[in-house]
């Protein structure tokens, strides 16, 4: 079968400055309506999944005055969406650093049951200091140690998901026996970071296992992704870096003995207009409404302090930390954004709204062309799409870009399967024997 393009939607409803774009209605009820609407629209466009990012904190203090409060908690949000949609995958972010593996395993398998096999887990290691402050305040763990913790957390989750096999439930009414005790696998995990006895009392879920997503960029992060992830998220600003990244992940996955490399789905922000000129006008609206102080607040998270700097002067590169152990990937990315084309500070801050991804501003054809270029050129197996936040952009994509992708034979006309795993073309792992 030929390769298939995959499309995911970044679902976080009120990221960045989008609460103040013209036409946006705020408040919890309106935001819930817009999330449901977005999920239904993505499903109408036969997208693989909606994805919710999460950082377990409200951001650095300097961002508080400028930030919407309606970025709902991912697991509960997708539980609601599972009742509003039928085929769309539901991918949540769960932190291997701060969320206990037992909780994660239980919530994810529950979600897989509730949704009829549409759950996915974005495994993150949580880099934010403000998140560490919400979980005991011992500070952010060293970068590579976070990945060792994540590997062990994942091992525990996988063991817990294996607790029940296909023939563990016997439901013998006469004998009063529901489960064959000889077929319950008790993890009994006793490792460096976690002690979890188990088992997890949950029947095998429709996908057998929720799909594993991950977004490592550093050496340790890429190694983790290449070994464990089934889909790799990434933010790569241009095609060449995108292809280099995808090839490195595929190569490392092969070296790790995987017959099938993970799918690579970079982020792609888009601003859509019926013509390129209309898209540029939308872009100007975004520029006029984004909040530079909000972006400055977030940059403090990665040790870049631009407080009080002149917004219309060149970027004061001296304010960038050289390289810190915890934020090396982010810092390198911001340095590229700050130096390419010598932007003013305000222009640089606008770029950071879509920091780690590719971006296209244009007509439906222009957006379809960019998707096709990355897909055919081996830089992407699909994309996480980030609509600009101006109302109507996702609908525009589904009504005008998706048909072009279909006509070009790049994208499906109907869902091929019932589960997220099937729609992504990923095999279900076998149960362990014994």
Ligand X SMILES: Cc1cc2nc3c(=O)[nH]c(=O)nc-3n(C[C@H](O)[C@H](O)[C@H](O)COP(=O)(O)O)c2cc1C
Q: How far is the CB of 173 from ligand X (least distance, A)?
A: 45
Residue 231 contacts residue 262 (beta carbons within 8 Å): yes
Question: Measured from the CB atom, is 55 or 418 closer to ligand X?
Answer: 55
Q: Measured from the CB atom, is 264 or 402 closer to ligand X?
A: 264
Cα maximum dimension of the chain? 80
Residue 294 or 356 with smaller CB distance to ligand X: 356
Tokens 């879509």 sit on residue:
354
CA distance 337 to 324: 18
Residues engaged in binding ligand X (CB under 6 A): 53-55, 93, 122, 124-127, 215-218, 221, 233-235, 267, 329, 356, 384
Q: At what angle do helices 219-228 and 143-161 cross, to 10 degrees?
A: 10
The nearer residue to ligand X, 57 or 179, going by C-beta atoms, is 57
User: In angstroms, what is the minimal distance from the CB of 288 to ligand X?
Assistant: 26
Residue with tokens 């817009």: 34
Residue whose beta carbon is closest to ligand X: 221
Phi, psi of 270 (to 5 degrees): -140, 150
| Minimum distance of ligand X from residue 423's CB (angstroms) | 19
Answer whether 119's CB lies under 8 Å from 423's CB: no
- Name the E strands within 243-296: 263-272
User: Which residue number, 102 or 245, has a Cβ lying nearer to ligand X?
Assistant: 245
Q: Nearest approach, Cβ of 147 to ligand X (angstroms)?
A: 7
159/222 with CB nearer ligand X: 222
Q: Determine whether 200 is exposed, middle or buried from the number of CB atoms within 10 Å of its CB (0-12, 13-18, 19+).
A: buried
354 with 389: CB under 8 angstroms? no
Least Cβ distance, residue 165 to ligand X (angstroms): 32
Work out the burial of residue 66: count CB atoms within 10 Å of its CB; fewer than 13 is exposed, 13-18 middle, 19 or more buried: buried
**Least distance CB 382 / ligand X (angstroms):** 12
């Amino acid at each position: 079968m030929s390769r298939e393009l995959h499309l995911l939607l970044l679902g976080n409803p009120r990221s960045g400055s989008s609460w103040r774009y013209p036409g946006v209605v705020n408040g919890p009820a309106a935001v819930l309506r817009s999330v449901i609407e977005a999920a239904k629209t993505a499903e109408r466009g036969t997208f693989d999944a909606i994805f919710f990012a999460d950082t377990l904190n409200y951001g650095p203090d300097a961002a508080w005055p400028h930030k919407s409060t309606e970025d709902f908690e991912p697991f509960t949000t997708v539980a609601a969406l599972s009742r509003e949609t039928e085929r769309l995958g539901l991918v949540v972010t769960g932190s291997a650093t701060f969320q206990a593996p037992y909780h994660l395993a239980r919530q994810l398998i529950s979600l897989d049951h509730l949704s009829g096999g549409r759950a996915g887990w974005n495994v993150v290691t949580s880099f934010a200091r403000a998140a560490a402050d919400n979980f005991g305040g011992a500070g952010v763990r060293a970068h590579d140690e976070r990945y060792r913790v994540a590997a062990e957390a994942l091992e525990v989750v996988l063991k817990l998901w294996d607790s029940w096999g296909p023939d563990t439930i016997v439901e013998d009414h006469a004998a009063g026996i529901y489960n064959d005790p000889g077929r319950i696998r008790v993890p009994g995990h006793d490792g460096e970071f976690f002690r979890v006895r188990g088992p997890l009392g949950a029947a095998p879920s429709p996908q057998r296992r929720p799909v594993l997503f991950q977004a490592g960029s550093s050496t340790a992060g890429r190694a983790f992704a290449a070994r464990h992830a089934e889909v790799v998220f990434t933010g790569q600003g241009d095609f060449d870096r995108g292809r280099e990244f995808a090839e490195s992940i595929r190569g490392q996955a092969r070296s790790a003995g995987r017959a099938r490399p993970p799918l690579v789905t970079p982020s792609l922000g888009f601003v859509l207009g019926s013509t390129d000129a209309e898209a540029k006008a939308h872009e100007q609206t975004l520029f006029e409404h984004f909040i530079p102080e909000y972006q400055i607040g977030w940059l403090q998270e990665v040790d870049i302090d631009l407080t009080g700097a002149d917004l219309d002067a060149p970027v004061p590169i001296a304010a960038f930390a050289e390289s810190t152990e915890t934020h090396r990937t982010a810092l390198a990315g911001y340095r590229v954004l700050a130096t390419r084309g010598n932007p003013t500070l305000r222009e640089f801050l606008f770029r950071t709204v879509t920091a780690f991804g590719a971006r296209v501003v244009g007509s439906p054809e222009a957006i379809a062309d960019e998707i096709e270029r990355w897909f055919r050129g081996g830089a992407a197996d699909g994309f996480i799409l980030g609509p600009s936040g101006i109302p109507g952009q996702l609908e525009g994509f589904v009504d005008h870009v998706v048909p072009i992708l279909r006509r070009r034979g790049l994208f499906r006309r109907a869902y091929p399967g019932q589960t997220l795993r099937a729609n992504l073309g990923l095999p279900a792992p076998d149960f362990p024997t014994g």
